[in-house]
Amino acid sequence: MANEQTGLEIQEILSQLGIETVNRGASTGSYWFNTRGEKIDSYSPVDGKLIASVSAASETDYEAAILKSQEAFKVWRQIPAPKRGDVVRQLGDKLREYKEPLGKLVSYEMGKSLQEGLGEVQEMIDICEFAVGLSRQLYGLTMHSERPGHRMYEQYHPLGLVGIISAFNFPVAVWSWNAALAWVCGDVCIWKPSEKTPLSAIACQKITEQVFAANNVPEGVSSLIIGGPELGKLMTADKRIPLISATGSTRMGKNVGQVVGERLGRSLLELGGNNAIIITPTADLKVVVPGAVFGAVGTAGQRCTSTRRLIIHEDIYEVVKNAIVKAYGQLKIGNPLDLNNHVGPLIDKDAVAAYQNALAKVVEEGGQLIVEGGVLTGEGYESGCYVKPAIAEAKNEYSIVQHETFAPILYLMKYTGSVENAIAIQNGVPQGLSSAIMTNNLKEAEAFLAASGSDCGIANVNIGTSGAEIGGAFGGEKETGGGRESGSDAWKVYMRRQTNTINYSDSLPLAQGIKFDL
C-alpha cells in the first residue's frame, strides 16, 4: 500500500475499533484517565506519520484509577472463578471479531509485519482460551496432619491489584498474557502500555470494555493509564499494587525490581535476551536456515527472543555461513502491511542509532561484517526507520556481543570439539531467555537440555529461539529477570497461597509433640 492509502485505511481501522479522532492527530479522548491534557503522539515507523495524539494521565488520574480498582476488586474476587473465566472466554470471541483491524493497527503502529500483527492478536485469543480452562483448575494441595483429628490443605486467593507495564515490541499480547490469567484468578489489572504504541492499547481497552459492560463487570477490573516513565515509577512504588509485571530492558527491570523489593512487593520481570542457536555437524540445513533467519530478522530483530548469535561447529561453519548469507540476499524490506515483505522498520530513529552504533562497535572490536548493514532511504523508506539486516563474524567475548541490541544484527562464531564447548559459549552472556540447538544427535540434544546444559528459561531442539506457544511458561534466568508468564503454572504468581489447618477433634494436640498443659 502507498503511504497515503495506508494512512487513510488506518483512520478507518481506528474507527472500526471504536477510536474516534476529530482530525488526524487529535486527541482520542475516551473514558480512561486523561484530564491533564498533555499529549503523547503516536507516530508510525512505517511512514513516519502522526497517527493520533493521546491524552496522558496525571497523578490525580492515576489516584482515581487506583481507588476505582480497589473498589472493583472487592466485587470481582467474590465472583466464582468459572464465571470470571466465562467473561474471559467472551473476550476471546470478541477478539476474533476484531482480529483483522487490530492486527493491522499493531502492524502499522509498531512496525511488525502484518502476519506477525495478526499472530499477536491470535496469541491474545489463545491465552483467553487457556485462561477459561484454568478458571476451573486453580488447585491447592491436601496433606496429612501429624496431629490426630486434624486436616490440612492449601488454597490460593487473588492478590488484588496487578500492575502491568508492557513494551512496544508486543504492544497487546504481553498485556493479555498477564490480564487473562489475573482476571480468572480474581485480580484486577492496571495497564501502562508503552508510550510508543498507545493506540493499540486503547483498542484493546475498548474491546474489553464491550465485553465487561455486557456482563456487568465492575469498572476498574480493567484499567488503562497512558503516560511516560514517571507513571511507571508511580506504579512501581505503590504499596497498593502487590504485583508489578514489567516487560522491557534489563536496566529498567533492575530499577523496578529494586523499588518493588524495597516495599516487599512482588515483581514479575521479563527483560533482555541474547539468544543463541547452536548448530552441530548433524544439523539439517532445511531446518537451520529458516529457523535462524526468521529468528534474527522477524520483527526486525525487536523481540526479546530474537536470535542474536549462531554458534556453528567448525566442520560446517562455511556451509552454514554461505547458506545464511544467501538467504539474507532474498529478504524484502518495506512496508510491513505488504505481505510480500519480510522485514519492516525499527520502532524509531533512536533504535536506528543503536543499530548503527552496534555495527560500528563490532568492527572496532575486531569483527567482520559479511552482510553489510545500513539505513535505507528513498521512496517507501521516508520514515528513516528502515535498516538492512546485517551479519557479522564475531567473538562471544566482545562487549557488543555481550549486550542486547534491539535490531536485526546476527553474530556468527565457531566452536570446536564437543557440544559442551558450544553450550559454554551460549551460556557465556549475562542474559538467559531463549536458546536452541540444531542437531540430529540424540546425545547432543539431551546434553543441551540437561541440568549442565542451557541455562536459559527456554531451550529448544530443532526449532529457533522465537515463537513461544502460550501453553508453556514464558521467561528467562539471570539478567532476563526470572519471571514466568502465560502457560503451565505461571498463574500462581497472581495469587497468594494460604495453608489451612482444621481441628475437628475435642482436644488441642500441638505439633512436634509439644506439651502445654494448664
Give the side-chain half-sphere CA count within 13 A for 500: 14
Q: Which residues pair with 160 in a beta bridge?
A: none
Residues in contact with 353: Cβ distance below 8 Å, sequence separation at least 6, in sequence order: none
Q: CB–CB of 417/447 below 8 Å?
A: no
Among the options 116, 270, 479, 485, which is catalytic? 270
C-alpha distances (whole Å) from 45 to each of 27, 49, 199, 278, 346 are 20, 8, 14, 33, 7
Tell which residue, 318, 273, 207, 250, has the closest CA to residue 454. Answer: 273
The whole-angstrom separation of Cα 366 and Cα 371 is 15
Residues in contact with 246: Cβ distance below 8 Å, sequence separation at least 6, in sequence order: 165, 232, 236, 252, 253, 256, 267, 268, 269, 270
Classify 74 in phi/psi space as left (phi over 0), alpha (psi -120 to 50) or beta: alpha
Residues in contact with 245: Cβ distance below 8 Å, sequence separation at least 6, in sequence order: 162, 163, 164, 165, 178, 267, 268, 270, 483, 485
The yes-or-no answer on residue 270 being catalytic is yes
Neighbours of 226 (CB within 10 A): 25
Q: CB–CB of 496/162 below 8 Å?
A: no
Among the options 128, 185, 189, 304, which is catalytic? 304
The SS3 call for residue 335 is coil
241 φ, ψ (degrees, to nearest 5): -110, 100
Grid cell digits, residue 320: 552454514
The whole-angstrom separation of Cα 80 and Cα 71 is 17
**Residues identified as active-site:** 270, 304
